[in-house]
Amino acid sequence: MKRFFVLMVFALLLTGFFPGKDAESGPPPPSRAHSLDVPEVRPFPSVRYHLSRLSLVQVLERTGAYSPEIRVVRKKLDISYAQRTQAIETFFPSIVTSFGTMTYSGEIQNSRGEFYNIQKQQSNLNQGATLLDQPGISGFQTYIRTTRIEQTHSQLSETINQKTAQAARLYFENLASLSRVAVLKRAVRISRRILMEEKKLVELGGASIVGVLRSAHEVARDSRHLVEEEKKTYRIAFRLSQVMGVDANTLPVPEEPFILPRLYIASPDSLDRLLELSDNTRPLLRQYQKNRQARKQQVYSTLYAPFVPTIGVSILNGSLGPDFNTLTGYNQTLFFAMWTIGPGGILDPAAINLAQKQESHAKSQLDRTRIVVHRQVRDAFEQFWKSLEEEQIAVTDMKLAKLTFLASQRRVQLGVYHALELIISLRDLVAAQLHYINATQQFEESQFDLLAAVGTRPEIVRSPVPVGPSVDRNLFRFEANPSGGPQ
């Protein structure tokens, strides 16, 4: 009985390690390896869009000329000029005309001292004009409107500053995305080649179906990343079209074939100098400085403009009489000056308090903006140097990854082959190349971020300078040199 029990347990263990056909769910047999395939990626970009190859100079120029946001601020500047013209117009006196009849009643006393109650309508025909002018209010308002024009000018400069920097970032983002697409397309071709080799080895009985499955998975993985990057490229191109103000059916394509590190500005070496420079050149700071100046002028207007009187002259010409048959002509000229004391005039405590509070608020906005600008300069400065350092490290990483991949390919030629080793080395090389593209993109974007933070426009007419030794584009290939060495 005991021996029977031991045999039953042993049989159950064997059943667990060697399941029957119904419980078997392993990989497909080698004969099915030929039917294993992955979907093809559709052509990119789509033929429905018109491709427009643009340089960075052209992108910045078109952004400054056609950007919708910049055009809106230009229209706002036109409004500021019209408002100043309206303020100047108040220097010219306004004219008021009048006409009508007059009715009076009361008591009169005759020569004997007797009083009589009378009520009579007097006929009155007159024409004339009253001229009014408020030189104090007109002068201060013209002064304030002129400052507002300068504020809008600064706002326009800041908008151009930010939009050109955004267009440059999108240009480099688009260029980097297209570069990543090129790398991923090559990765898909190489992974497909590995898949074909694995299928041939399976047919010859020299490899396992696991290698085919791993290779097919790598093709699908690289294809998925490729489609994701192409989708991202469309989105970036549409955003760049919107910033430049061009038709959405036109896809801007950088004229550069591949993203490489370039210096568009002189390497900044002093952060304190950049902070000092931003205080003088950043349009955003000038905008808030002019806003505070206008608020201070409003305080002066509230305090001192009411002391300047409203001056005027009234000229009246008409006829007066008991009835229209006995009208008597007359002429009347009156010069006058008026002051208002209280609300809306001299010693208006509510208006004075409001103007002072608005001036204090404008000062707080200026102080806050200066802190924000200095933080942007510091951040862009550090990003510039750190992204440059990251780019230099990424070059070394990419070179080592390529040497590893080429060594794996060499092992294949020598017959020491394992699919997983080649797939991992390919994945590492692709990751190193993509990381290098990202580092280069951040480095070039950081330059224009620094320019925008300081408030200086780039000298885009000169050619950019390569960073250090030029990076060979062959580093982004997956093959060796014809001479046998790595590229």
Q: Please provide the DSSP assignment of 24-71 as one string.
A: ---PPPGGGGGG---PPPPPSS-TTSEEEEE-HHHHHHHHHHH-HHHH
**Highest mean pLDDT of the ranges 92-101, 426-435, 478-487:** 426-435
Residue 443: per-residue pLDDT: 94
Residue 197: per-residue pLDDT: 80
Question: Helix (H, G, I), strand (E, B), or coil: what is residue 315?
Answer: strand
Cα–Cα distances (Å) from 344 to 86, 145, 192, 264, in that order, read: 20, 20, 83, 56
Contacts of 329 (CB under 8 A, 6+ apart): 318, 319
Whether the predicted pLDDT of 296 surpasses 80: yes
State the CB neighbour count (10 A cutoff) for residue 23. 9
User: What CATH class has 48-92+135-306+344-476?
Assistant: mainly alpha
Q: How far is Cα 133 from Cα 95, in angstroms, rounded to an integer? A: 10
pTM above 0.85, yes or no: no
Chain mean pLDDT for the chain: 81
Give the pLDDT band of residue 277 (cuts 50, 70, 90). Answer: very high
**Highest mean pLDDT of the ranges 138-142, 246-250, 373-377:** 373-377
b/e string for 308-324 if b means 16 or more Cβ within 10 A?
A: bebbbebebebebeeee
Percent of the chain with pLDDT over 70: 78
Question: Helix (H, G, I), strand (E, B), or coil: what is residue 319?
Answer: strand
9-18, 72-81, 127-136, 339-348: range with lowest mean pLDDT: 9-18
**Highest mean pLDDT of the ranges 52-56, 101-105, 116-120, 126-130:** 52-56
What's the DSSP call for residue 93? P
Which helix (H) or strand (E) segment is 333 a member of?
A: strand 328-338
Whether the predicted pLDDT of 59 surpasses 50: yes
- End-to-end alpha carbon distance in the chain: 74
Q: How far is Cα 128 from Cα 318, in angstroms, rounded to an integer? A: 8
Whether the predicted pLDDT of 70 surpasses 90: yes
Whether the predicted pLDDT of 383 surpasses 90: yes
Burial of 363 (0-12, 13-18, 19+ CB in 10 A): middle
